[in-house]
Chain A
């Protein structure tokens, strides 16, 4: 339970190395009833950084991700986005969420709206963008994620991989400061995982700040600046992907990696 947090000496991957701190968590705690899901989490994510959070199920990594746009409330501590603490409720919170893109495990595309309308809804209703401009931008984004030809369809008519790429386009349409990915490929059939990961690698290459909860080691190696390993609600270890996968320090991380790497 009380594994010491093993931080690498010198911490070459610290947020500061990549620019100003964009997302900052200080002493964040959360309980689900008796369960202490986030234990005194401290984390900084820099501008342009791609951070991968991995860990066994129940380690709190999804909760951490969802806490950053307050889809989960926290019991204590502070979360700052661009230096501003998360507002409690109301207009301030909505404003903040519009600046934080979120991609869900289960896509959550608006089932009653076409692909195009899914992407334009936020810009039109939240940002006040004119319909035509919003459509133009949406088509560009859909083209970028490779589903422009599906624009007129309803989400249910698309494959999982296509739906998730639309979800990414929907989040990007708000021009977010940071993108949160909560296990974006976990609900996908194996043959569709790569089409989503390719888009994410592309985004990472464009300098978008990303916090990605995933088990995709390939993505972490290819695109991440830093890997954070969580277990039992704590950050147990953080390092560059190369270091983490080849030479994990903590027993929990070694144990976890041995389980997912050997089949």
Chain B
């Protein structure tokens, strides 16, 4: 226990990086996932096709493979990404967007078709129909599944530990090595710092959910 407190500054470095990965990838995934969902419900066949393709590849590929692709394969074929966190952020974003997309799409489908018809009937285009009428109403059903996705993302950032990013899990591994007598305490410390991110995320979701509620 004492060694955990002693290692606190080290933990905090790892924690900061994990928080950074989760926040940036999370924000990018929300944007990209929503765009993909818009593609998947678009009247244009080609957009629907692109959306479906990206989602199926993203969600059906193990995250480690996505990392390998961006960290090793892309440089191998001459596309050099700057080292550090960028490949990790791209891999996490591509992977998570697929799940965000499906959560948002289920929300879109939960809004009655009459809402979109009424929007189109007053002359709104398909993008306006989506952004002004359908998505605001989809939000309320989408928040709980989206938070699941973001919590999963937070934990998935640990995959980056295997790709030279010293985030929380990599930090914990190092600490376990440095304090062999306190391995369990060190790993519990790691778990605690993940909870510091995920539990408030759940609480924030609850408050957003209450705020976007309105009766039909």
A residues in contact (CB < 8 Å) with B? 69, 71, 89-91, 94-102, 104, 106, 108-112, 121-122, 125-126, 154, 156-157, 167, 170-171, 174
Contact B115 A126 (CB under 8 A): no
Contact A156 B216 (CB under 8 A): yes
B133 close to A (CB within 8 Å): yes
Task: Find the residue from B114, B119, B121 having the highest chain A CB count within 10 A.
Answer: B121
Contact A125 B117 (CB under 8 A): no
Contact B125 A89 (CB under 8 A): no
B132 close to A (CB within 8 Å): yes
B residues in contact (CB < 8 Å) with A? 43, 112, 114-115, 117-125, 128, 132-133, 136-137, 214-216
Q: Which partner residue on chain A sits nearest B120 by CB separation?
A: A97
Main secondary structure of the interface of B (DSSP, over half): helix
Which residues does chain B contribute within 8 Å of A126, judged by CB atoms?
122-124, 128
Task: Find the residue from A91, A96, A121, A157 having the highest chain B CB count within 10 A.
Answer: A121
For the complex, give the distance between the alpha carbons of A167 and B66 in Å: 50
Q: Which partner residue on chain B sits nearest A102 by CB separation?
A: B121
Contact B136 A170 (CB under 8 A): no
Do A125 and B128 contact each other (CB < 8 Å), given the known contacts A94-B123, A95-B123, A112-B214? yes
Contact B132 A94 (CB under 8 A): no
A-B contact count (CB 8 A): 75
Do A125 and B114 contact each other (CB < 8 Å), given the known contacts A97-B122, A156-B214? no
Instruction: Give 7 CB contacts A-B under 8 Å.
Output: A69-B121, A94-B125, A102-B121, A110-B118, A111-B115, A126-B122, A170-B118
Do A71 and B216 contact each other (CB < 8 Å), given the known contacts A104-B114, A106-B114, A110-B115? no
Contact B119 A110 (CB under 8 A): yes
Which residues does chain B contribute within 8 Å of A104, judged by CB atoms?
114, 117-118, 121
Which residues does chain B contribute within 8 Å of A171, judged by CB atoms?
121-122
Q: Least Cβ distance of A74 to chain B in Å?
A: 16
For the complex, give the distance between the alpha carbons of A90 and B215 in Å: 32
For the complex, give the distance between the alpha carbons of A108 and B137 in Å: 13
For the complex, give the distance between the alpha carbons of A43 and B136 in Å: 39
Which residues does chain B contribute within 8 Å of A99, judged by CB atoms?
123
Do A71 and B124 contact each other (CB < 8 Å), given the known contacts A121-B132, A156-B215? no
Q: Which partner residue on chain B sits nearest A70 by CB separation?
A: B120
Do A89 and B136 contact each other (CB < 8 Å), given the known contacts A71-B117, A104-B117? no
Contact B136 A112 (CB under 8 A): yes
For the complex, give the distance between the alpha carbons of A108 and B125 in Å: 17
The listed residue (A106, A111, A122, A125) touching B214 by CB distance below 8 A is A111
Q: Which partner residue on chain A sits nearest B215 by CB separation?
A: A156
Given contacts A104-B118, A111-B115, A156-B214, 14 further A-B contacts (CB under 8 A): A71-B117, A94-B120, A97-B123, A104-B117, A106-B114, A108-B114, A110-B119, A110-B133, A111-B137, A121-B132, A126-B124, A126-B128, A167-B118, A171-B121
